[in-house]
Structure 1
Amino acid sequence: MSRASRILGWLILAAITVATIAPIGYRPVSGMPVSIERAGAFALLAFLFALGYPRHRWRVLVLVVAAAGALEAFQLLEATRHGRVADFLVKVFGCGCGTAASLAADMVWPRLRTRGEA
């Protein structure tokens, strides 16, 4: 489970990066409010990385929050995009929820953890 979570986490990070720094016309739209899209994407990212690197959950949280900040800053380089503190805070909330969900999943289903990685 750990290896699959790591691979999926890196793929999700790549997808979020492309969707975040590409021109606004290329941004995928789900029909949900953008704040839910942002929080959900970063919650999933943090959840997968925290499951994939269970001994480093706090580092994962810090790095995913840093990635959210960097991606918001990179939006300032694209003329059709805009990085905002409010958007960053929504992403940080998602990161916290995803990390907390990984802790809860680990307590409820300890078998998700690969042997020897806890």
Structure 2
Amino acid sequence: MINRLFQIAAWLALAVIVFITVSPIGLRPHDMLSVSYDRAFAFTILTALFVLAYPKRWLPVGLTIIVSAGGIELLQELSPSRHAKVSDALVKAGGAALGVALAWAFNAMRERRQQRIASGV
């Protein structure tokens, strides 16, 4: 049940990120953080959700998102008001790598806890 919720959240987050990436700059949400922090945070959350949703496939899922950060950045070339940058792709990839590490650690702790409960310890 919980994995299904993570799956739904992960795919929705991907859709939102792709939409924000290709939409005109005026539709991009604004907050108090710098855009680099926004990018890194968005990809940390995105990748963590996917790794939590697909814990047995954490490595290919994580690597796919890390590599896809560049592809998603290139989608900005479809919008006349946006411009793809290598530095932005690297920030996104770094955030994705952090998301992999955090979610992998969480999944490992969750699995150990379930094993202790199952063994009656």
TM-score norm. by structure 1 comes to: 0.89
Distance 2:68 2:31 in 1: 22
Q: Which residue of structure 1 lines up, in the alignment, with residue 66 of structure 2?
A: 65
Question: In the alignment, which residue of structure 1 is the partner of 2:95?
Answer: 94
Return the alpha-carbon distance in structure 1 between the equivalents of residues 65 and 96 of structure 2: 7
Deviation at 1:71, TM superposition (A): 1.4
Runs of 4+ aligned residues of structure 1 deviating over 4 Å after TM superposition are none
The residue aligned with 1:115 is none
The amino acid of 1:84's aligned partner reads K
CA RMSD between the two structures: 1.4
2-structure distance, mates of 1:91, 1:39: 5
Q: Which has the higher helix share?
A: 2
Kindly tell me the number of residue pairs found equivalent between the two proteins: 112
Residue range with higher mean Cα deviation, 59-68 or 8-17: 59-68
Q: Distance in 2 between matches of 1:46 and 1:6?
A: 11
Q: How far 1:68 sits from its partner (Å)?
A: 1.5
Alignment of 1:74-85 (within 5 A): 74-85=75-86
Structure whose CA Rg is larger: 2
What percentage of residue pairs aligned between the two structures are identical? 38
Instruction: Structure 1: state its 5+ residue gaps.
Output: 113-118
TM, length-normalised to structure 2: 0.87
Q: Which structure carries more relative contact order (alpha carbon 8 Å, separation 6+)?
A: 1
Q: Deviations over 1:68-92 (max 9, x none)?
A: 2111111112111011000000001
Q: Tell me how far apart the structure 2 counterparts of residues 55 and 107 of structure 1 sit (CA, whole Å).
A: 11
Post-superposition shift, 1:109? 2.9
